[in-house]
Amino acid sequence: MPEIFKSPAFVISGQDLGESDRLITFYTMARGKVRGIAKGAKRSRRRFVNALEPFTMLNLSMVPPRTTGLNRIDSTEILDNFPLLRNKIDCYVMASLCCELVNLWTKENDPQKDLFKLLRWYLDSLNEGFPPRKTTLFFKTLLLALAGYAPDFDLCLLCKRPPIGNHVVFKLHAGGFICNECRKSGEKTHKISLGTLKSLRHIQNGSLDSLHRLTMTDAVLEEAWSLIKSLHCHHLEQVPASYVAVNGLKLEIGK
């Protein structure tokens, strides 16, 4: 009998599998990303009583395959289903984006306790009513760092000095910026204000407990959002599908 695997977990993705089953992707505390088949979940919702809905935090028990094949989900016990997040469309769309990013950035069986903690903090924050776009920016900036792609927001790539003036030019591929002194005239791509740079530095170096105290103007938030999105897309070599829904939100809310 294979040993049952147990861990606190978040549901980060799910898809139908054949006539009656679902294939669920979790981010677990013990093993990082794992996938498991939910037998009969498509036919009868009662079997797992909403435990396999996106973002649910649960105690997961899974049985590994005897030889090859998929893990089988044995039992689930809901720890938190973040009900307030679920009822707000902007929160739901943002949380979907962040779960997709976790799925894209992680390998199976590669646990990162800090990522589990970050995901918990993020879903708690949305559920407690913190602004979704700003909270999502925090999450994505920190996720990039956990994935090993933390940009250098401190010193110019060329002269290694702190920036002066109003703007710098960000180099996505190099993960850093070129200051006004070093930049050749005419370079317009990813022009970033020093205020945005300072906010991103604060997010990257700050602790989760104090992040929500950071104030940002709308202009800084949008500039930071655009840069962090570009960095994710550049390193992942794709635009995550959830951005379609996120961009739709922007039109609806007008911001």
Q: Which DSSP helix (H) or strand (E) runs through 170?
A: strand 167-171
Q: Least distance from C-beta 155 to Zn ion, angstroms?
A: 8
To the nearest whole angstrom, how small is the minimum distance from the Cβ of residue 58 to Zn ion?
49
Between 161 and 234, CB nearer to Zn ion:
161
**Minimum CB distance to Zn ion smaller for 145 or for 158:** 158
Residue closer to Zn ion (CB basis): 38 or 179? 179
> Using N-to-C axis directions, what is the helix angle for 89-105 and 132-146, rounded to 10°?
10
CB of 159 to Zn ion, least distance (A): 3
Closer CB to Zn ion, residue 9 or residue 168?
168
Least Å from the CB of residue 166 to Zn ion: 14
Distance between start and end Cα atoms, the chain: 55
The footprint of Zn ion (CB under 5 A) covers 156, 158-159, 179, 182
Nearest to 129 by CA among 84, 73, 193: 84
Q: What is the DSSP string of 191-216?
A: EEEHHHHHHHHHHHHS-GGGGGG---
DSSP letter at 225 equals: H
Torsion of CA 39, 42, 48, 50, to 10 degrees: 150
Return d(Cα 180, Cα 163) in angstroms, integer.
7
**Shortest distance in whole angstroms from residue 196 CB to Zn ion:** 17
User: Which of 182/194 has CB closer to Zn ion?
Assistant: 182
